[in-house]
Structure 1
Amino acid sequence: MAYSLRTEAQIAGVWSDISNKVYSRSPVVIERGRREEDSAVGPSKGRLQLNNRDVEFSPDNPRSVNYGRIGPNTPIRMSVDGAESYFASTGVSGDVLTTPDHASLDIVGDIDVRVELTADWYLTTPQTLIGKWSAIDGNRSWLMRITAGQVHFVWSPTGLSAGAFFAFVDLPQMPRRAALRAVLDVNNGAGGWTVSFYWSTSLSGTWTLITTVTIAGVTSIYSGSAPLEIAPTQVTTSETRLPWRGRLHRAEVRSGIGGSVVAAPDVRAKAVGTTSWADSAGRTWSVAGAGTVTNREWRLHAEVSAWPTRGDVAGRDIHVPVEAAGILRRLGQGVKPLASTLRRRIPAVGAPVAYWPLEEGRNATQGYSPLPGVDPLVVTGFSFETDDTLPGSSSLPKIAAAATMRGNVPAYTPTGQWHVAYVGYSPAAPASVTKYLEFFTTGTAKRITFTAEPGFLEMIGYNSAGGVLFTTTVGESDFHGHWTGVGLTAAETGGNVRYEINWDVVDGPGYVAGSTVAGTAGIVTSVNTTFGTLAADLRIGHLGVFPSSSTAVYRFGDNGWGGEEASTRLIRLGTEESVPVMANYSGTPLGPQRPNKLLTLLGECAAADLGLLYESRDRLGLAFKARTNFYNQPVALTLDYAARGEVSPPLEPTPDDQRIRNDRIVNRVGGTSARAVDETGPRSINPPPAGVGLYDDSRTLNLRYDSQPEPIADWLLHMGTWGEARYPTVRINMAAIPAQLMPAVLALEIGDRIQIINPPEWLPPGPIDLIVEGYTETLRPPGRWDLVLNCSPAGMWTVAVSDDPVLGRLDTAGSTLVSGVSSTATSLSVATTTGPIWTTAAGDLPFDIRVGGEVMTVTAVSGASSPQTFTVTRSVNAVVKAHLAGADVRLAQPSILSY
């Protein structure tokens, strides 16, 4: 297959085509993912050679037209022409494909909405797909979106978000390119409404019902004037949901269930760069924002860290050997750990007017403030870097008896409210009243103290004469012996001020008490505390003053986001560090995020979930495929070895011990451990021939609960003792592959599942089932294009599905042939050696068994006790052989419980 490789560099911020500068004498080589299944995912690489005779790729040469316009980490991207066009949705609000409102689109009754997309269906974040949903409340009709592996259909009978209804269901495992359909029956004839969801491989394929949702009460859809949009933004009363990032191939909106088509954008045959066209229903579609109609199939997005100029003595062959690398290379250059979650969250979210983290080193004598214009906190009796047990902080100080701290708060505009807060640990209740905090304000309460005594915590306000203005008391249950967050607040209400103590146990309950007095809140001017002598051993940190009475700023930061799900943390960290991250939903709860390098923290998320973190191909960013998205995933590409050109030799299994691990230990950071050992199987720790000997390993994961290591260890043991041979490489000659397979090959992504059917006789019978761990492609325009996939066995990811006729069957605990059989015998005598006998119910038949590598289909089972007689169809997998008495009999596809 001929192809056109396009290479572009971002010069002065603009993508410029430099394809004519790429030398064909040197191949373009692109590497992505893992080279071997157990190795870490490294940065993608792109190697090419650029013609530099006119020195345009010499950024330090003033003669270059690109002098000062390119340099270290200049983005570069490569792509080829695809077989068809698509609308590229950017995921950014306003980048839409849109058609104006029309009478035919003002559907108030039954509606049938269909879209064919390429999408990451299981991302944690909501992704809007199609809808008539205005940014103005009161003009909202309907919308379809996907969220964390669910499809949602939303509509409003009134045009208001507050009056909207929605139905949703979990998505099945779907290929990356697929079609979704939502059908709303506004009056199902039984006094209710029904939404039915379907999926298919394409808009013209056979629709498979996912499920229906039925609720009492008939409904309708608001006839609004909003345009119909592909990739709309859903604005609600509480949040904004952005469009999906991916491809639209085509869509349909029908008035009525299976009714007349009123909109049908089809992008597949549109010319690249098309900005407007009329569809078959007469609707005129326009591209808006940065959305585009394109056919690009992206092969790499990377950065050029260096532009080394090379040349011969005569100065004729001047070139630049470029080695671009993915974003992981740049992210891995930094050695500075990210600050603690409290240190990161408080300035970013709380907008404090004064803040002292108190995370200083052991020899510090004052508390630094990261806020400009805020003087250090002057302290005595502080032993810094003493206690590192608060999950959301670096090590904090312990104070001595009668320690002091003094800090001025810069003047700020009064807001009628304020809040002074800190996190602390009081080992035990003091024997008598002991001061923990004192500060001053310009309000009616000039001086405020916070004290502890047996059974109580008190906030006391004093007027300008030193008299007590108010006393607020709250119980101290759970306060001592735990890390707590303390907030003292004031908020004006009319001519009064409400003063409150707000305190909560980190990862525990919270408490509040308050007093209201006449007056004003003023502003906080200074913190000036002499701790009581009984406050010795108090730990304190993250002292802040805020122009708001909200105490939520410390929330989540104080426990280091403990319990946060892996995909949520990946997205949050990416957002905080300006690294694009697309993450499939993972419900794995994580332990606290401690100060560490960004890549280490991202890697913790993937490791805890047993998922895969890799670089995106279509932008400089990262993608995460969760463990659960490997389970029973659809086959993305099927190659036929017998078909000329689909698989290039050699195709060689490697039945080695690289991936064997039969003794697994999983440790939880700061918690318990679990061990899983195979003591009986063919890959057990027993010496040969009973097993393979000991192959042990141990890993430490940042998990939330002590209940997590055990199932993880069990699953890792399952993976480490899986019996399939490895096929480390699968070679595809892209120039010879059939044209109908090219779209699937180009769409193939790291973590996808492929199958090779009809393998040669000298290999085990197929299909060969594999996971793509990474790949290397070599392009030498105009003709040569080789793709080498690095693969691992996929069978280990096939897991049980309840009530499924194949994946829902429990295997025998132990069965063998009573007597030997010939290669053509169709009746077997099977003895059950352990556990229940085999089912004889006609409704449970047929099912496949495996005997000595041969797969047979059991069509009948007779006998109420062992041995039983099986009637079978032989050689289902093309293995023809006789079997001896005592041969093991198992289900061909036993149920494997997923973790």
Structure 2
Amino acid sequence: MAFPSTPLDVLVELQVGGTWTDITADTYTRSPIGIECGRSEESVRTNPAKCTLEINNRSGKYSPRNPRSPYYGLIGRNTPIRVSVNSGPSFLSTTGATGSGARTPDAAALDVTGDIDIRVDATLDNWRTTGVVPSVDLVGKWSTTGNQRSWMVQSRDGKPHLEWSPDGSTVLQADATVMPVLPVSRRMAWRVTLDVNNGAGGWTATFYTAPTIAGPWTQLGASVTGAGTTSIFNSTTELKVGDATNLTFAKPTGRIHAAEIRNGIGGSVVAAPNFTTQTPGAGSFTDSTGKVWTVLGTSAITNRHVRFVGEVSSWPARWDVPGKDVWVPIEAAGILRRLGQGRKSLDSTLRRRIPSHSPLAYWPCEDDEGATQAYSPIKGVAPLRLTGGWTFGQDDTLAGSSSLPAVEPGARMRGTVPAPPAGTMQWSVHMLYAVDAAPASDAEFLSWTTSGTVRRWRILIRTGVGTVQGFAADGTQIVNATVGVGSDVFTGWQRLQFEAEQNGANVDWSLFWFNIGGSAGGFSGSVAGSVGQVALVDTQFGASISGLRVGHLSVLPVGDGTDGNAYRDADHGYSNEPATDRMERLAAEESATVALAVFNGSVPAASEPLGPQRPASLLDLLQDAADCDGGILYEDRASSSLVYRDRRTLYNQAPALVLDYTVEGEVGPPLEPVEDDQRTRNDVTVSRSGGSSSRAVRSTGPLSVQPPPQGVGVYDESVTLNLGADHQTEHIAGWRLHLGTWDEARYPTVRLMLHAASHLIPAYLTLKIGDRIQIANPPSWLPPGPIDLVVQGIAEVVDQYTWDVVLTCTPAGPWTVGVVGDAVLGRVATDGCTLGGAVSASATSFTLVSSPGPRWVDSATYPSRFPFDLLVGGERVRVTAITGTTLTQTATVTRAVNGISKAHAAGAAVQVADPARIAL
């Protein structure tokens, strides 16, 4: 018997000494487990998830400082905890570890050498990954050992990727031409077919996607073709899913539901591991084709769904007076709590970026105002020694840096550069600078010594001229090259980049100027001799330089093509970086602190461009990006990681969960609509940090700034966002006004009693923050039609026989936006329409008067545009035809589409039931 007739299988685990340990038996059932995640309102940042429960501590096992406890020294502050339930179909859990997944031995039926059809169905956290080769193994018959390559399918940079070999050694490959849309559920089925002889002297690979392996399949982009017919090598290697190759690609993390291999496109099935039908805990099974599959490594067949992962920050001991009842009331929290506790700002983007490129020496010069030397973050590099007038912390106008020093004319800097790795035959020197004006005479901007033929290099700049000088060990000048320079090298922040490399018997050198965010040009030359190594940066700034500021001086052991990457983009703080790109980059840079998955729906459409990344805490930087883009940043329920749901994934969603008010348990009491002003904002000003602003005001309508009864009065809002450009403020202000003046009752909470409606459990287990839900058949005292909502937060109470869920919701209506060409979402209303005469409750002909126009489409000219729905006085009518081509027209209608049929007076307002709204 299933839940609720039998107890719900709840598992509570602590990570003790790095191992997940079952403590369910010690978890009291007298106090249900409470779990909360998400946010309470659309405009409020997400709160840390939390889980409350009580643990039996009569033995003192859960007293961290009790030496009698078997967990002594193994539990304490921020001990990981997770809560899960067994429910629904099984799946193969994949941990991302090498050797995880499942395999079946090679067999004659698997030796497909011609056309092949490969399918896999998975829910993954890492459909997209980073790295030199951003690939994730999925399924394959592929081993490089002994050249036993047949074929493999991967996710490469988020797209299906096929590789195969005709001889076990040579590799051919094809990639899908477009990126698939990643559902918020993260579940996708991919299908790849290879036609080894397409009849035109070549081969063809075609890619498909589907919601599950059951289909329906939709072709992904264009087919990929190659010259020459091909074949697939008959290797002896095993067939594997998960860790599908013996290579060092990333391995899938999440769930694999099924896979299928066919001999021929749409041909006979030769392997079909269906993990959804297997017994949880099984170590092996036989698929429908007779293949025996073995579960590998850290993978497992399970139907366990994690409801909470967090950390126990404290272990408060409680007991009754006799000491017979001893317990620990735990309130665990998600990772947002810890991230919110740490308020240390991340360093500037340059300070973070340059050390990752292994500089031989680096001095940021971001020291505080009273500093007398410039610290180096590179181990083994002494501080930069300074003489003359140096005043730190004077200029914070460089977007990629913290405040930098002002330097007086004639001041000096000296910094020793450690010896580079043996064999290094090229190097580069970089410095950022800004001046008030161009020097009238030659002025030294940068100079350094080397062990090469040119012992001292100097860069001099004056109005209109840049000079590179080089001197031999005896002081003889052996390089003297000049180039004309424009005023742009004296305007704003600049980067000097000088490179030298050995080219036979010569030293090739190049000097470049980079306006921050672009190039100002450069020139190059060559001199006989050896390049040597940079030994000392020794610069005395010219006496004619006015208003000099400098910073981020470095020596890098690489030449042109890679060293510029140490500064590029970071020097302007990644200005205009899309919000989702910034979040993914930050998560990659701070991978030891947080993991982040981004769901941005239609990947080709960029998220909102951001302004420069200034020093701030990691959580603030992530949340600021989310605020600019308008999506939801929340905690993943199944892991200690964050999820960002892009704003566009909230548009025009299909309902993830449909409830029926008339079915017992599906909608528990109370379901209470609220008509209030909690979310009303009818006067919105959006400003760009360091830039301009825009204002949007609702001047007419029931939620306008007009005083009652014409409106509700002024509800103003002013926000400052770190946007990339001023023009963004107008669109964002309009969108926030749209959200703040949506005229609909709120249903703040929806209760599900899963113990009374257990058939909802499978759909509920896949429900995500930001998903759309609907409640069908509401009671007659509420407005007709389904109640349409977006889930903002989830709270659940779990015990053996009760599973109670409360969803915090906001209206879904504002997120239904226009789609050009769509029969429903692409329809635009006239600019005002009324009934030309009164109609009875049964009339099927309406006179429509449009003023000032345009008119409605007529069915004779535009038959494909019919039918469509209109709203009149709360009644939804379906227009099947319209006659007339003037502003007064006659419509034939079907009444009571939403169950309402009533008489309407002449002059009653007529509007499109689902008008197209412009999305942000």
Question: Distance in 2 between the 1:883 and 1:141 partners?
Answer: 68
Match 1:654 to one of 674, 693, 696: 674
Show the counterpart of 2:767.
748
- Structure 2: gaps of 5 or more residues: 601-605
Q: Name the SS for the 1:401 alignment partner.
A: coil
8 Å contact 1:426–1:479 — kept in the other structure? no
Show the counterpart of 1:330.
338
Change (3 A) 1:277 1:493: farther
Match 1:554 to one of 564, 567, 572: 567
Match 1:89 to one of 86, 94, 105: 94
Change (3 A) 1:570 1:444: same
**Is 1:590 aligned to 2:610, yes or no?**
yes
8 Å contact 2:8–2:85 — kept in the other structure? yes
Which letter does structure 2 place at the counterpart of 1:416?
A: M
Show the counterpart of 2:373.
366
- Identity over aligned pairs, percent: 46
Question: Distance in 2 between the 1:898 and 1:133 partners?
Answer: 45
Match 1:807 to one of 820, 825, 829: 825
- Per the TM alignment, residue 527 of structure 1 is displaced from its structure 2 partner at its CA by 1.6
TM-score, normalization by structure 2? 0.92
Deviation by residue 1:184-235 (Cα, 9 ceiling, x = unmatched): 5555667776665554443335445666547686754543636544345799
**Is 1:793 aligned to 2:811, yes or no?**
yes
8 Å contact 1:107–1:221 — kept in the other structure? no
Show the counterpart of 1:710.
730
Question: Distance in 1 between the 2:204 and 2:841 partners?
Answer: 55
**Is 1:346 aligned to 2:370, yes or no?**
no
Deviation by residue 1:468-526 (Cα, 9 ceiling, x = unmatched): 12234444332111312222222223333222213322111253432222322222222
Change (3 A) 1:635 1:178: farther
- Structure 1: gaps of 5 or more residues: none
Question: Distance in 2 between the 1:473 and 1:193 partners?
Answer: 56
**Is 1:260 aligned to 2:273, yes or no?**
no
**Is 1:680 aligned to 2:726, yes or no?**
no
Show the counterpart of 2:901.
880
Question: Distance in 2 between the 1:86 and 1:428 partners?
Answer: 67
Change (3 A) 1:373 1:128: closer
Show the counterpart of 1:25.
30
Change (3 A) 1:601 1:487: same
Match 2:39 to one of 28, 31, 34: 34
Which letter does structure 1 place at the counterpart of 2:864?
A: G
- Per the TM alignment, residue 144 of structure 1 is displaced from its structure 2 partner at its CA by 5.0
Which letter does structure 1 place at the counterpart of 2:270?
A: V
Question: Distance in 1 between the 2:111 and 2:821 partners?
Answer: 42
**Is 1:763 aligned to 2:768, yes or no?**
no
Show the counterpart of 1:897.
918
**Is 1:825 aligned to 2:843, yes or no?**
yes
Q: Name the SS for the 2:773 alignment partner.
A: strand
Which letter does structure 1 place at the counterpart of 2:871?
A: R
**Is 1:853 aligned to 2:858, yes or no?**
no
Deviation by residue 1:524-551 (Cα, 9 ceiling, x = unmatched): 2222211111123111101112233333
- Per the TM alignment, residue 391 of structure 1 is displaced from its structure 2 partner at its CA by 0.9
Change (3 A) 1:491 1:259: same
Deviation by residue 1:247-297 (Cα, 9 ceiling, x = unmatched): 221122223232111221100122223333332223343333433222111
- Per the TM alignment, residue 447 of structure 1 is displaced from its structure 2 partner at its CA by 1.1
1:537-616 alignment to 2 at 5 Å? Answer: 537-549=547-559, 550-577=563-590, 578=592, 579-585=594-600, 587-616=607-636
Question: Distance in 1 between the 2:184 and 2:384 partners?
Answer: 58
Deviation by residue 1:107-134 (Cα, 9 ceiling, x = unmatched): 4544333333334698686674634374
8 Å contact 2:182–2:599 — kept in the other structure? no
Question: Distance in 2 between the 1:865 and 1:187 partners?
Answer: 60
Deviation by residue 1:678-718 (Cα, 9 ceiling, x = unmatched): 22233222222322221121211112222322222222222
Deviation by residue 1:600-655 (Cα, 9 ceiling, x = unmatched): 10111111110110011111110110011111122111111111111101111112
Show the counterpart of 1:470.
479
Question: Distance in 2 between the 1:694 and 1:533 partners?
Answer: 60
Q: Name the SS for the 1:535 alignment partner.
A: coil
8 Å contact 1:647–1:730 — kept in the other structure? yes
Change (3 A) 1:403 1:40: same
Change (3 A) 1:110 1:881: farther
Show the counterpart of 1:726.
746
Change (3 A) 1:275 1:34: same
Q: Name the SS for the 1:386 alignment partner.
A: strand
8 Å contact 1:128–1:233 — kept in the other structure? no
8 Å contact 1:173–1:633 — kept in the other structure? no
Show the counterpart of 2:543.
533
Match 1:5 to one of 10, 14, 30: 10
Change (3 A) 1:57 1:370: same
Question: Distance in 2 between the 1:133 and 1:844 partners?
Answer: 51
Deviation by residue 1:719-766 (Cα, 9 ceiling, x = unmatched): 112222211000011211133x21111221211111111111111112
8 Å contact 1:417–1:548 — kept in the other structure? yes
Change (3 A) 1:156 1:836: farther
- Per the TM alignment, residue 99 of structure 1 is displaced from its structure 2 partner at its CA by 3.7
Match 1:617 to one of 616, 619, 637: 637
Change (3 A) 1:772 1:339: same
Deviation by residue 1:780-820 (Cα, 9 ceiling, x = unmatched): x3212211000011121112223222112222221111112
Which letter does structure 2 place at the counterpart of 1:355?
A: Y
8 Å contact 1:112–1:254 — kept in the other structure? yes
| Larger mean Cα displacement after TM superposition, 792-801 or 103-112 | 103-112
Q: Name the SS for the 2:25 alignment partner.
A: helix
Question: Distance in 2 between the 1:191 and 1:842 partners?
Answer: 46
Question: Distance in 2 between the 1:204 and 1:662 partners?
Answer: 47
Deviation by residue 1:571-617 (Cα, 9 ceiling, x = unmatched): 22122222111112353222111111111101111111101100111
8 Å contact 2:112–2:234 — kept in the other structure? no
Question: Distance in 2 between the 1:472 and 1:247 partners?
Answer: 63
Question: Distance in 2 between the 1:241 and 1:479 partners?
Answer: 45
Which letter does structure 2 place at the counterpart of 1:845?
A: F
Question: Distance in 1 between the 2:409 and 2:624 partners?
Answer: 40
Question: Distance in 2 between the 1:369 and 1:569 partners?
Answer: 27
- Per the TM alignment, residue 371 of structure 1 is displaced from its structure 2 partner at its CA by 2.5
8 Å contact 2:435–2:548 — kept in the other structure? yes
Which letter does structure 2 place at the counterpart of 1:536?
A: S
Change (3 A) 1:187 1:42: same
Change (3 A) 1:172 1:546: closer
Question: Distance in 2 between the 1:355 and 1:205 partners?
Answer: 56
**Is 1:481 aligned to 2:491, yes or no?**
yes
Show the counterpart of 2:603.
none
Question: Distance in 2 between the 1:614 and 1:96 partners?
Answer: 29
Change (3 A) 1:802 1:94: farther
| Larger mean Cα displacement after TM superposition, 517-526 or 106-115 | 106-115
Q: Name the SS for the 1:649 alignment partner.
A: coil
Question: Distance in 1 between the 2:110 and 2:816 partners?
Answer: 44
| Larger mean Cα displacement after TM superposition, 387-396 or 761-770 | 761-770
- Per the TM alignment, residue 172 of structure 1 is displaced from its structure 2 partner at its CA by 5.7
Question: Distance in 2 between the 1:100 and 1:705 partners?
Answer: 58
